[in-house]
Structure 1
Amino acid sequence: MSVRMLAFLLCLWPLTLLAQGFSGLGSEAESGFASPAPNPVFSFPADHGPHPDYRIEWWYLTANLTGPDGTEYGLQWTLFRSALAAGEAAGWASPQIWFAHAAVTTPQTHFAAERFARGGIGQAGVTPAPFRAWIDEWVLEGPDFDRLRLRAAGPDFAYDMALTAKGPLVFHGEGGFSVKSAEGQASYYYSQPFFEIDGTLTLPSGAVPVSGQAWLDREWSSQPLSDTQSGWDWFSLTFDTGAKLMGFQLRQTDGARYSSATWIAPDGASTAFADGAFFAAPLQTTSVAGRDLPTRWQVRLPSRGVDVTVAAINPGAWMGLSIPYWEGPVTVEGSHSGRGYLEMTGYD
């Protein structure tokens, strides 16, 4: 087999993963992959880096930004690792597939772009210390996980941002062991939700200086969903009081929901809530990319007195990429006010 043909076949492998979309996260991992277990012991900075023995992993950054005239913007940068087999190897023998999404949302428009890479050849990867996550020229890097610089660009947008953490890491579920289904599927999941962010967005209309708050999620697993789950609705909300709420619900094929949430106090102290404590119900749908998507929600966490309306700043924030989904900034009104981010997957 020629080198050119081998390279062509290796480039085709990720398409089988992409064809599964987010629903593929419910497929059973092949033997050889590790599985998350209760009572994890994290080691930093090493755990900011990749875990090649697990099938799926991501570094997921979202940000709520404000321009000089008060206009609200959203920013997303995500680096995904998906493994064909457990472990790592040098060069083209690496079984690791990397891809990334970048997006900017304004009240009127939504821009998105994606990149793909093979592991082992230097085109993409993550190093924990000093921290660097990259794919081509898209990069999130800094001397450590608390001080980072983010750069990415698409055909119609670019951004160059500085991030500084002003609070601690937050571990979801049981000390970072986040259960996703009644059957016990789980991931390791922690966040840095206390980033202050500022920099420049470059849009077709020109450069815009912006500042705001950012939230970075870290998660890895080998089968994070049950095969009876089709997608999720995920909320990261920052209230004007300084408190924060992460909550998600996983939609079952029989119409049921499995939920989880983390309440984060202004000082970073967190309380985890298991299935049934967090509620999210659609209030209004919008036709987006041929789909009826909930873009206005009632979100409740009764034990913390949360009963809010969460509304998309731009209902058309559709990520029309190889794996399509909805992701965009939201406003929060009701018992608490603030802003945040909403992600919705599996709305085929």
Structure 2
Amino acid sequence: MRPLLSCRLAAPLLASALLLGGCGEAPPPAPSAGFAGLGESAEGYTQARPGTPLRFPEDHGAHPDYRIEWWYLTANLEDESGEPLGLQWTLFRQALMPPAERPAPGPWVADQLWMAHLAVSRGEQHAVAERFARSHSADPAGGQAGAVAHPFLAWLDDWELVTRVEAPDADTFERLTLTAFDGEGEERAGYRLDLTAEGPLVLHGDAGFSQKSADGQGSMYVSQPFWRVEGEVVLAGETHEVSGRGWLDREWSSQLLGPEQAGWDWFSLHLDDGHRLMAFQLRGGGEAGGDYRSGTWVSPEGEPRALAPDELALTPLATSSVAGREVPTRWRLEVPAAGLDLIVAAPHAERWMDTTVPYWEGEVIARDRDSDRRLGIGYLEMTGY
């Protein structure tokens, strides 16, 4: 999603905006606002709806008339010795007011807030960093943070995801470079990576509209699950040459969740036979008060098949104690239409993101439930625990 959703965590940016603006501490979100305030009323903003046409390259850039948005990359990598590494980089945008209420631009005026997350994982090591910035929608290319479509660039300070395509009439989202580092010396962590698309963009749900509850809330949701990733990762001050596979989610919405939805569990899997699978459940918001599930089964050629709520099942099997919480890190994931009955488990439980709004995100391995044969790798994100 990051359903997400990813953070799907864009709503906490409002609290940070008040702090950055010198307005004191923000009040906590109302209990009826859902996880991280993502169920708050979005009156005055553009709404994500079925039938909304998607246009590229324009939709690679920011959508300031929607309340929340993110560019969300995860990657499963290996270093020179074959040791697995995982990473995340996410840029979140949140509008601070509807379009009709925006003030005129000025040196101290902002109507958009930005947050970025960096994470690098290797074995028991897990490094996390977070940054914030503000901008005005009237100056999309000149602020401390932003995202422009052509040529593509998404950034916050010196953390940036930028195109490597120079031809003005080409798709400048096909080859990107991600650069993000934090800390110094033995505390330094980050990466410089080249991303090359080896398949098409995937539109989730109904031609890009991804429903998130039985009541109809949702987001515009597009993924690039076919990245080949190469470059270097720094962790604990040590540099590793890496390669592997990445998954980038793009979502924008104004009211992503219903007020009763308390969190979600989101999976992205690269299967060894070339298929990709995205699956999520939102806890609450389903029929008769149950959970709401959805997903996309993607062929090796990039053809998506939307999965309805009754076409997949997500069942937690075991939990781990992480950051004082019991978090499900072993799951059964069933997609009968694809012939899948998987056990999806995290080899390392300590992947807690201790950020402004905390959540769990880490690498997982998918195995066939009957034979225990490894079928793929991917990422799992869980919020609201």
Band of TM-score, shorter chain: over 0.9
Residue deviations 1:46-67, cap 9 Å, x none? 1101111110100000000011
1:123-272 paired onto structure 2 within 5 Å: 123-142=144-163, 143=165, 144-155=172-183, 156=187, 157-204=189-236, 206-252=238-284, 256-272=290-306
Greater percentage in strand = 1
Counterpart for residue 39 of structure 2:
26
Figure out how many residues of one structure are paired with residues of the other and give that number.
341
SS in 1 for 2:337: helix
- Give the match for residue 351 of structure 2: 317
Partners of 1:241 and 1:17 in 2: CA distance: 46
**Structure 1 unaligned runs (5+)?**
1-5
> Matched residues in 2 for 1:8 and 1:179: separation?
33
Match of 2:4 in 1: none
Work out the percentage of aligned pairs sharing the same amino acid: 50
Matched, 1:278 2:312: yes
Residues of 2 paired with 1:9 and 1:67: CA distance?
38
The Cα offsets for residues 61-81 of structure 1, whole Å up to 9 and x where unpaired, read as 000001121111111000000
Cα distance, 1:128 vs structure 2? 0.6
Matched, 1:77 2:86: no
Q: Deviation per CA, 1:300-333, whole angstroms, max 9, x where unpaired?
A: 1111111111111321100001110001111111
Distance apart, 1:154 and its partner CA: 2.2
RMSD: 2.2
Is residue 95 of structure 1 aligned with residue 111 of structure 2?
A: yes
SS at match of 2:64: coil
Which residue in 1 is equivalent to 2:7? none
Say if 1:71 and 1:189 are closer, same or farther in 2 by CA, change over 3 A. same
Deviation at 1:93, TM superposition (A): 2.6
Sort the Cα spacing of 1:47 and 1:11 in 2 relative to 1 into closer, same or farther, 3 A.
farther
Distance 1:124 1:213 in 2: 26
For 1:103 and 1:61, the matched residues in 2 are separated by 10
Deviation at 1:264, TM superposition (A): 0.2
Whole-angstrom distance in 1 between the partners of 2:304 and 2:208? 11
Match for residue 339 of structure 2? 305
CA contact (8 A) 1:106 1:314 kept: no
Structure 1 residues 263 and 9: alpha-carbon distance in aligned structure 2, compared to 1, 3 A threshold? closer
- 2:367 maps to 333
Residue 182 of structure 1 contacts residue 258 of structure 1 at CA under 8 Å; is this kept in 2?
Answer: yes
Aligned to 1:287: 321
TM-score, length-normalised on structure 1?
0.93
Distance 1:17 1:101, change over 3 A: farther
| Letter in structure 1 aligned against 2:378 | G
Amino acid at match of 1:218: R
Cα drift, residue 94 of structure 1: 2.7
CA contact (8 A) 1:22 1:323 kept: no
Per-residue deviation, 1:15: 5.0
Distance 2:312 2:356 in 1: 31
Report deviation, 1:158. 1.7
* Aligned position for 2:168: none
- Equivalent of 2:68 in 56, 72, 77: 56
AA aligned to 1:196 is R
The alpha carbon displacement at 1:14 in A equals 9.2
TM-score normalized by the length of structure 2: 0.84
Alpha-carbon distance in 1 for matches of 2:239, 2:37? 39
Aligned twin of 1:105: 121
Counterpart of 2:75 in 1: which secondary structure?
strand
Q: What do residues 170-213 of structure 1 show as CA deviations (whole Å, max 9, x unaligned)?
A: 00000001100011101100101000001111122611101000
Residue 143 (structure 2) aligns with? 122
* 1:42 equivalent in alignment to 2:54: yes
The one-letter code matched in structure 1 to 2:120 is V
Q: State the SS of the aligned residue for 2:241.
A: strand
Q: Deviations over 1:257-312 (max 9, x none)?
A: 10001000000011001212121111110000000000111111111111111111
